Amino acid sequence: MKILTAWLRHYLPALPVDDLQLAEDLTLRGIAVEGVHPLSQGHLFEMDITTNRVDAMNHYGIAREAATIYNLPLVPLGANIAAIPTIAPFPVRIDSSAETLCGRFTAQVLRNVTIAPSDGLIADFFALLGQKQISNAVDASNFTLLGMGHPTHAFDLDKLEGGIVVRLAYKGEKLKLLDGTERTLEADDLVVADEKKAVGLAGVMGGWDSMITPETRNILVEAAWFDPASIRRSSRRHLLHTDASHRFERGADFNACPTANALVSQLILTAGGHAEGALIDITQPAIAAKTSARSGIALSVQQVQRHLGTTLDDAEGESALTSELVQQYLTALGCTLASADQPTEAEALTALNEDPQIGGPSAVASHISETDSPDSFHVQLPSWRLDLEREIDLIEEIARVYGYNHFANTLPTPGIVIAHPTAAAEAAVRTRLLALGFSEAISSTFASQSDSDLFYAPAAPGQGTIAMENPLSEEASLLRPTLIPGMVAMLSNNLNRDVKEVRLFEQGHTFTGSTAAVTESAQLSLGLTTGTPQATAPHSAADAPIFELKGAIESLVSLFTLPGGPAALTFSTESTPAWLQQGRAATAMLNNVALGYFGELTQAETQKRKLRQPIFLAQLDLTALYALPLKRVTARDLSRFQAVERDFSFVFPDSIQWHTVTSAIQALAILELQSLAPIEVWRDKKKYPGVYSLLVRTVFQSHHRTLREEELTQWHSQIIAALTQLGGTIRA
């Protein structure tokens, strides 16, 4: 934004530095001046103001920063308007549908005004800024916006039918705006209306039918506070980004409305006219409690010194960040400080009675003020600084105003680094998935209501979704209850860019419950799509991706020590989510409790999203896995003696799973058995229904001696007996 140094000096006549030094000092304190251009009067600053500092998006806000840096008094804002009393105040009301969206609405009636070109400071400053002049009424509103940062609007009072009503629009209602375009409104658009029609899109732009013209003689000046989320929705929906919406979207100053209204009214009346009736000021106490009257913050000076550390101005054993300096900075920024350890009046009176050296009740005030410098404060926050919420925010403000360049270059004190309890498990899962050919991805922690309804079903009461109080958009209105929408979006983006081979995983957190009690859970999502699936016996090419996900889940679970051994992990095709294709999905069970799901996205959803090929998804509950101990990785010397392989070819019923086979062989406790693995699986459902053929390869090796043939024969017989007992038959 553009800032005039001449305008800044209008608010700070005693500014002791030149413009170039001012630019440097502001930049060092986080109010970045990116360009300085000389003008006929002073300089023009091109400034980059972060979105959370809406209070600094104006000349008075920058002047306040400069006043804090140089410890100068700031010219107060205000205007005195002599109003002619009226018996019947102009009717203004906030409809019940809009009470949560319009926290404050002020209105001032001006009669017999003269519409003329602007002169004086407005003309001078607008010329320096290159700001277009329209008329004194419109320019007064723009001048106040650029000066103190609060949007206002002036209506032609004679064009209003009845009083003013702040309400929600009617679906399909038409409104012609000041830019000449006609907009069709939605039911959640907030409007300023008269008794017959909408006359402005609240917080965004005024209406054509009530605009100021050279014939205007009576004016209604409005200054209000509107809900940021409501203004953002309307602004995005109608593709209108105005100076007013830019500020309302980021949180305007609740207490600025009367001052802004008075300033605009005063500027208009300089050309003639008078105010009628007192200022109309309607407030919503519930919204005031969340903004201007929100609770204060406890601030400890010791915490300030601890967090900010050594400064270049520290004396021996004494920090330069004293209580007095803390109070000076925060007071200049608009905070109100009270000593948290200052005695109350009753305590002071008690002290007077107990201390004979203090003379009488008249000394109460001096007794309170002469206490030592406080070690802690109760800080009441200014209404224009909604970005201040915690003690650490105040500490950051103190550091910023003091100047980051005034802190000593020191290294942090060495300490013991304690790893997060799940860090090792997270690293093991990540390493395994990378080894399996998956790439790590990160998706948004927000989700839309439609995606949540599709991909998430609460498993129990109290596990609902959590709506954002101030969402960025409808697509990000909830905290994500599942990782699947993000994974689907990432796979879709790859397919839309002709990337046909994609394997992704995301370790993230999901959020369920309610705004009062949020449950955060560690989850894992897997996504896979391939344009050239490869058949692997006994699975067809179409089924191979599903079993690849199944294998990835088995591999991950094998990293942990399972209660009950490998048999604790089972799979079921029952009770799979509705977003997975029935018959092509399964549930992973850990000791008969659902651990996760995997399978193919439904064909209906695939077609709806216009995906060019099937995608396969899985979600795993990492919280349940992280509760298990990781297997310890051990290393041992390689044997110097020869290894011997033995193969076993069996036919098993379909009900016999691989972990059952391995458990039966390992239960024999053959110490020399080094490994066993499936080498070949064959199935012919039509010719041999209900069975499959399995070739198992075992490796025997001793670390101490060469194995004898009779030992191998004995172990061979034991394994055959164990597999036969499972229901297997030796394949001829």
For the domain that residue 259 is a member of, what is the CATH number? 3.50.40.10
What percent of the chain has pLDDT above 90? 73
Query: Residue 337 maps to which CATH number?
Result: 3.30.56.10
The three-class DSSP label of residue 87 is: coil
Residue 583, domain member (yes or no) = yes
Q: Over the chain, what is the mean pLDDT? A: 89
Contact 609, 595 (CB under 8 A): no
401-446 pLDDT, tens per residue? 999 889 988 776 667 778 888 999 999 999 999 999 999 999 999 9
Residue 386 has pLDDT above 80, yes or no: yes
Residue 633 has pLDDT above 60, yes or no: yes
Give the max Cα distance, the chain.
118
So what's the pLDDT on residue 371? 44
pLDDT confidence tier of residue 537, bands split at 50, 70 and 90: low
Residue with the bigger pLDDT between 176 and 367: it is: 176
| Lowest mean pLDDT, pick from 297-301, 333-337, 514-518 | 514-518
Q: Are residues 58 and 16 in the same domain?
A: yes
pLDDT confidence tier of residue 342, bands split at 50, 70 and 90: low
| Lowest mean pLDDT, pick from 160-164, 287-291, 383-387, 468-472 | 468-472
Give me the mean pLDDT over the 12-20 stretch: 93
Among 479, 113, 120, 54, residue whose Cα is nearest residue 268: 113
Secondary structure element (H or E) that encloses residue 10, with its range: helix 5-11
Give me the mean pLDDT over the 510-516 stretch: 86
pLDDT confidence tier of residue 344, bands split at 50, 70 and 90: very low
- Write the DSSP symbol of residue 54: G
Residue 179 has pLDDT above 70, yes or no: yes
Give me the mean pLDDT over the 448-455 stretch: 90
| Lowest mean pLDDT, pick from 103-117, 331-345, 551-565, 605-619 | 331-345
Q: Are residues 226 and 306 in the same domain?
A: no
So what's the pLDDT on residue 732? 73
Q: Are residues 22 and 93 in the same domain?
A: no
Residue 364 has pLDDT above 50, yes or no: no
Residue 495, domain member (yes or no) = yes
How would DSSP label each residue in 376-437? Answer: EEEEEPPTT-TT--SHHHHHHHHHHHH-GGGB---PPPP------TTHHHHHHHHHHHHHTT
So what's the pLDDT on residue 129? 92
Residue 368 has pLDDT above 60, yes or no: no
Residue 98, domain member (yes or no) = yes
pLDDT confidence tier of residue 349, bands split at 50, 70 and 90: very low
Q: Are residues 281 and 303 in the same domain?
A: no
68-126 pLDDT, tens per residue? 999 999 999 988 888 898 888 999 999 999 999 999 999 999 999 999 999 999 999 99
Give me the mean pLDDT over the 371-375 stretch: 67
Query: Residue 549 maps to which CATH number?
Result: 3.30.930.10
Residue 359 has pLDDT above 90, yes or no: no
So what's the pLDDT on residue 659? 80
Residue 542 has pLDDT above 70, yes or no: yes
Residue 206, domain member (yes or no) = yes
So what's the pLDDT on residue 475? 83
So what's the pLDDT on residue 341? 62
Q: Are residues 168 and 194 in the same domain?
A: yes
Residue 632, domain member (yes or no) = no
Final residue belonging to a domain, choices 70, 99, 121: 70
Q: Are residues 88 and 38 in the same domain?
A: no
Residue 418, domain member (yes or no) = no
197-249 pLDDT, tens per residue? 999 999 999 999 999 999 999 999 999 999 999 999 999 999 999 999 999 99
Most confident range, picked from 459-468, 524-533, 654-663: 524-533
Residue 343 has pLDDT above 70, yes or no: no
What percent of the chain has pLDDT above 70? 95
So what's the pLDDT on residue 372? 55
Q: Are residues 163 and 228 in the same domain?
A: yes
Q: Measure the CA–CA gap between 50 and 47, rounded to whole angstroms.
A: 10
The three-class DSSP label of residue 372 is: coil
Domain residues for the domain of 723 are 644-730
Residue 365 has pLDDT above 50, yes or no: no
Contact 616, 581 (CB under 8 A): no
So what's the pLDDT on residue 513? 87
pLDDT confidence tier of residue 728, bands split at 50, 70 and 90: very high
- 62: amino acid identity, one letter: I
Residue 634, domain member (yes or no) = no
Give me the mean pLDDT over the 661-677 stretch: 90
Final residue belonging to a domain, choices 290, 316, 340: 290
Give me the mean pLDDT over the 502-517 stretch: 90
Give me the mean pLDDT over the 711-730 stretch: 93
SS3 content of the chain, % helix, strand, coil (to 5): 35, 25, 40
Q: Are residues 224 and 261 in the same domain?
A: yes
Final residue belonging to a domain, choices 572, 598, 626: 626
Q: How many domains does the chain have?
A: 5
Residue with the bigger pLDDT between 673 and 341: it is: 673
Q: Are residues 33 and 92 in the same domain?
A: no
Q: Are residues 397 and 487 in the same domain?
A: no
| Lowest mean pLDDT, pick from 29-38, 130-139, 564-573, 702-711 | 564-573
Q: Is the pTM of this model over 0.75?
A: no
Residue 682 has pLDDT above 90, yes or no: no
Residue 274, domain member (yes or no) = yes
Q: Measure the CA–CA gap between 344 and 367, rounded to whole angstroms.
A: 11
Residue with tokens 């059952």: 660
| Lowest mean pLDDT, pick from 276-290, 368-382, 469-483 | 368-382
Q: Are residues 63 and 106 in the same domain?
A: no
Sign of CA dihedral 717, 720, 726, 727: negative
pLDDT confidence tier of residue 622, bands split at 50, 70 and 90: very high
Q: Are residues 313 and 198 in the same domain?
A: no
Contact 43, 5 (CB under 8 A): yes
Sign of CA dihedral 124, 130, 135, 139: negative
So what's the pLDDT on residue 373? 67
Secondary structure element (H or E) that encloses residue 447, with its range: strand 446-447
Tokens encoding 402: 């003091």
